[in-house]
Amino acid sequence: MTEPSAATPTDAAPAPTSGLENLLTEARRFPPSPEFAAQANATADLYSWANADRTTFWAEQARELLTWSTPFTQTLDWSDAPFARWFADGRLNAAYNAVDRHVEAGHGDRVALHFEGEGGDTRALTYADLQREVSKAANAIAALGVRTGDRVAIYMPLIPEAVVAMLACARIGAPHSVVFGGFSAEALSSRILDAEATLVITADGGFRRGSASALKPAVDEALAKGAPSVQHVLVVRRTGQPVEWTEGRDVWWHDAVEAASAQHAPVEVEAEHPLFILYTSGTTGKPKGIFHTTGGYLAQAAYTHLNVFDLKPETDVYWCTADIGWVTGHTYVVYGPLVNGATQVIYEGTPDTPHRGRWWEIVQKYGVTILYTAPTAIRTCMKWGEEIPGQFDLSSLRVLGSVGEPINPEAWTWYRRVIGGDRTPVVDTWWQTETGAIMISPLPGVTEAKPGSAQVPLPGIAADVLDDDAKPVPNGAGGYLVLTEPWPSMLRGIWGDPERYKDTYWSRFPGMYFAGDGAKKDEDGDIWLLGRVDDVMNVSGHRLSTTEIESALVSHPWVAEAAVVGATDETTGQAVVAFVILRGDATEAAGSDAATVQQTLRDHVAREIGPIAKPRQILVVAELPKTRSGKIMRRLLRDVAEHRQVGDATTLADSSVMDLIAAGLNKPAASSD
Ligand code: WT7
């Protein structure tokens, strides 16, 4: 067995996530049951079909799974690589594909969304309801001046109006930019500015951990920083909290949408028309506006949702627990399931409100058959104990999915045994905001599953693991994950920054897409993901940039310098640990109180980025370990944060620094909430 670090020798080499050290010794195998295999949507011949002619394979998927107002005749144009054009001469509308065509096909009475509010309020929207609501909302936002091509920012809790708002934008061809409701006013502001949004759709607030939490004030604060492009703010009343109102700018959703006509003709757009922008953390301080276009994205969203989850739209009840603020919510709450005509559950709240069995109660109540969630949630449930899910009837479940970070074999087998009753396939799905849809995953009726491994590229997808010299590694060895062929739902770029797109993804290994993940091939050639190899952390399946948090820290007047690392955490995968050097006068200002420094800086990061970015620990140090060229050696800091013997420090400009840091650590300083 080769050490992952042998193939990832950069300073930013990944720290193995909990349990991953033992990955390749994992010998348990879970083949699909004959009953499952016999009824599965995807069979093994999908691989040979796709391998025989990848382009034609995708063209057939796109024709089969989508309704085109103008059929395409060209499949892939890669002549201007890495800028791809898929199905470019075809025209279609995303909302029509997600909603209207199901009503036209006679499925208007099928429930599209079972909404479960945190407080227990529920609503069911059929496809006919959705068609009416989306049409009204499209008319309402058009009346507010939104035109095809304009960008709309959406900052909402997970309520049906959020899905309606996204589809209303898609209906008029106005790319949406959803900003996770947990992000700060500061983060919202920078995203609104970068996308030059003309409209912001928000809510007074949402319900979180048993109480109303406000959203509208963050929008007011973001716009107060200056946002010349924004004409209007459309506000859904969800909690009934009092809100400040800017006359002429702010409009209530219930006034505008309820008064609007329910007739709206979806705008046909070109396949390459942008559908959405979604900001994600990169290795620099500035988040990247990843943008996706319509035809290719929808084709792969539908294809993966149908085959990876084995969806049967007439009988399944599907539930993906992601928020619409992340790509998982875009592809596997909104576009994939709705384009496939699925019935799904959406839930506003947290898994432990009002009790730790809430998720399982929801599974039982709606008879959920397919569940898609993140390893961090599974590990949290493991910690709470299996007697909690044991109190509910989970026998409706037939497929379980995992996404967002590597799933350790223990969590995988627990998920299958305790939640899946030892009978359901578990699919570990690897993908990214940039890939738009699932790329590497078992097929539940075909693949003999290995706990902890995403295993194989889906039919139509080509991936490899390369060493530093861009050579594919042999089985049993590790390196960098790359995608070697373009795919329909690939990002089309970084909004407004084509050079950064080329540099970030296409320059490390020319001609290939560099994912930023470390990976290994096992003896069978199956792929095991090992975590990021760049300065990106993964905390509870959410992507955070070390540099972005460092920038937030140094923007505080007390901080002279900061270095942030992702340290292994049993539940969240990684946790943010910050090392800071304080300015001379800061110690005085803080009254030399370590707890005050910690609290102040943690709150500051929450205000600058959002509570998810709050460091678990902030350690005040006198120096940071740097190379002679001035680069911070995060690898050494990670050793400290993970309480390991500090590794090779010979390239440090001043090798005594690590002794100082380690000595400082023996003083009690840590805290967390
Ligand atoms: C990063 C992408 C994909 C939707 C949610 C996250 C990590 C994602 C897996 C998996 C191991 C995974 C990777 C990737 N990741 N899924 N099944 N096994 N790692 O989207 O925020 O764009 O983050 O999440 O490191 O690069 P994202």
For ligand 1, is residue 309 a contact (CB within 6 Å)? Answer: no
Pick from 375, 496, 364, 377: nearest CA to 426: 375
For ligand 1, is residue 454 a contact (CB within 6 Å)? Answer: yes
Residue 672 pLDDT exceeds 50: no
Per-residue pLDDT, 23: 57
Report the nearest-CA residue for atom 27 of ligand 1. Answer: 432
| Antiparallel, parallel or unpaired: β 199-203 and 152-155 | parallel
For ligand 1, is residue 437 a contact (CB within 6 Å)? Answer: no
Per-residue pLDDT, 490: 98
Per-residue pLDDT, 656: 77
Residue 462 pLDDT exceeds 60: yes
Instruction: Tell me, in angstroms, the distance from the centre of ligand 1 to residue 528's CA.
Output: 12
**What is the Rg, in whole angstroms, of the alpha carbon atoms belonging to the chain?**
24
pLDDT tens digits, one per residue of 6-51? 223 233 334 334 344 455 567 899 999 999 999 999 999 999 999 9
Q: How far is CA 379 from CA 413, 469, 571, 572, in A?
A: 11, 37, 6, 8
- Entry field: residues in the chain: 673
Say how many C-beta atoms besides its own lie within 10 A of residue 6's C-beta.
12
For ligand 1, is residue 327 a contact (CB within 6 Å)? Answer: yes
For ligand 1, is residue 517 a contact (CB within 6 Å)? Answer: yes
Contact indicator for 67, 248 with CB cutoff of 8 Å? no
Residue 454 pLDDT exceeds 70: yes
What is the C-alpha separation between 589 and 310, in angstroms, rounded?
59
For a mutational test of ligand 1's pocket, the pick from 405, 482, 490, i.e. the residue with the most ligand atoms closer than 8 A to its C-beta, is 405
Per-residue pLDDT, 657: 79
Phi and psi at residue 125, to the nearest 5°? -115, 125
What is the C-alpha separation between 585 and 270, in angstroms, rounded?
58
Name the residue with higher pLDDT: 540 or 215.
Answer: 215
Name the residue with higher pLDDT: 221 or 18.
Answer: 221
For ligand 1, is residue 101 a contact (CB within 6 Å)? Answer: no
What is the C-alpha separation between 336 and 163, in angstroms, rounded?
13
Per-residue pLDDT, 632: 85
Amino acid at residue number 29: R
For a mutational test of ligand 1's pocket, the pick from 376, 543, 548, i.e. the residue with the most ligand atoms closer than 8 A to its C-beta, is 543
DSSP 484-536: -S--TT---EETT-HHHHHHHHHTTTTTSEEEEEEEEE-TTS-EEEEEESSSE
| Antiparallel, parallel or unpaired: β 232-236 and 250-252 | parallel
Contact indicator for 313, 347 with CB cutoff of 8 Å? no
Helix (H) or strand (E) holding 292: strand 288-293
For a mutational test of ligand 1's pocket, the pick from 529, 540, 546, 612, i.e. the residue with the most ligand atoms closer than 8 A to its C-beta, is 529
Contact indicator for 24, 1 with CB cutoff of 8 Å? yes
For ligand 1, is residue 16 a contact (CB within 6 Å)? Answer: no
Instruction: Tell me, in angstroms, the distance from the centre of ligand 1 to residue 430's CA.
Output: 6
Q: What is the largest CA-CA distance in the chain?
A: 73
Residue 105 pLDDT exceeds 70: yes
Angle between helical axes of 185-195 and 594-608 (0-180°, round to 10): 30
Amino acid at residue number 364: Q
Angle between helical axes of 45-52 and 54-65 (0-180°, round to 10): 120
Per-residue pLDDT, 591: 63
Per-residue pLDDT, 212: 96
For ligand 1, is residue 23 a contact (CB within 6 Å)? Answer: no
- Mean pLDDT score of the chain: 92
Give the position, in ligand 1's atom list, of the atom nearest the Cα of 454: 17
For ligand 1, is residue 403 a contact (CB within 6 Å)? Answer: yes
pLDDT tens digits, one per residue of 580-622? 999 887 766 666 677 888 999 999 999 999 999 999 999 999 8
Per-residue pLDDT, 9: 29
Instruction: Tell me, in angstroms, the distance from the centre of ligand 1 to residue 519's CA.
Output: 12
What is the C-alpha separation between 558 and 592, in angstroms, rounded?
12
52: CB partners within 8 A, 6+ apart? none
What is the C-alpha separation between 445 and 213, in angstroms, rounded?
42
For ligand 1, is residue 516 a contact (CB within 6 Å)? Answer: yes
Average pLDDT over residues 404-424: 96
**Bridge partners of residue 465, in order along the sequence:** 481
Instruction: Tell me, in angstroms, the distance from the centre of ligand 1 to residue 296's CA.
Output: 20
Q: What percent of the chain has pLDDT over 90?
A: 83
Examine residue 82 and say whether the peptide bond preceding it is cis (omega within 30 degrees of 0).
Answer: yes
Examine residue 354 and say whether the peptide bond preceding it is cis (omega within 30 degrees of 0).
Answer: yes
The two counts, helices (H) then strands (E), for the chain are 24, 30
Report the nearest-CA residue for atom 17 of ligand 1. Answer: 430
Per-residue pLDDT, 453: 96
Give the position, in ligand 1's atom list, of the atom nearest the Cα of 530: 11
Contact indicator for 460, 407 with CB cutoff of 8 Å? no
For ligand 1, is residue 328 a contact (CB within 6 Å)? Answer: yes
What is the C-alpha separation between 95 and 316, in angstroms, rounded?
22
Report the nearest-CA residue for atom 18 of ligand 1. Answer: 406
For ligand 1, is residue 308 a contact (CB within 6 Å)? Answer: no
Contact indicator for 191, 179 with CB cutoff of 8 Å? yes
Report the nearest-CA residue for atom 7 of ligand 1. Answer: 405
For ligand 1, is residue 532 a contact (CB within 6 Å)? Answer: yes
Instruction: Tell me, in angstroms, the distance from the centre of ligand 1 to residue 628's CA.
Output: 33
Binning pLDDT at 50, 70 and 90, where does residue 4 land? very low
pLDDT tens digits, one per residue of 516-572? 999 999 999 999 999 999 889 999 888 999 989 999 999 999 999 999 999 999 999
Contact indicator for 110, 126 with CB cutoff of 8 Å? yes
Contact indicator for 161, 253 with CB cutoff of 8 Å? yes
DSSP 94: H
Average pLDDT over residues 655-669: 66
What is the C-alpha separation between 584 and 358, in angstroms, rounded?
49
For ligand 1, is residue 433 a contact (CB within 6 Å)? Answer: yes
Instruction: Tell me, in angstroms, the distance from the centre of ligand 1 to residue 531's CA.
Output: 8
Instruction: Tell me, in angstroms, the distance from the centre of ligand 1 to residue 432's CA.
Output: 5
What is the C-alpha separation between 306 and 42, in angstroms, rounded?
8
Per-residue pLDDT, 535: 86
Contacts within 8 Å (CB) and 24+ apart, 352-359: 352/384, 353/118, 353/208, 353/209, 353/210, 354/210, 356/381, 356/384, 356/388, 357/388, 357/389, 357/391, 357/392, 359/321
For ligand 1, is residue 404 a contact (CB within 6 Å)? Answer: yes
Residue 669 pLDDT exceeds 70: no
34: CB partners within 8 A, 6+ apart? none
Assigned token pair, 260: 């609007």
Binning pLDDT at 50, 70 and 90, where does residue 664 land? low
For ligand 1, is residue 280 a contact (CB within 6 Å)? Answer: yes
Report the nearest-CA residue for atom 13 of ligand 1. Answer: 405
For a mutational test of ligand 1's pocket, the pick from 327, 335, 403, 432, i.e. the residue with the most ligand atoms closer than 8 A to its C-beta, is 432
Per-residue pLDDT, 590: 62
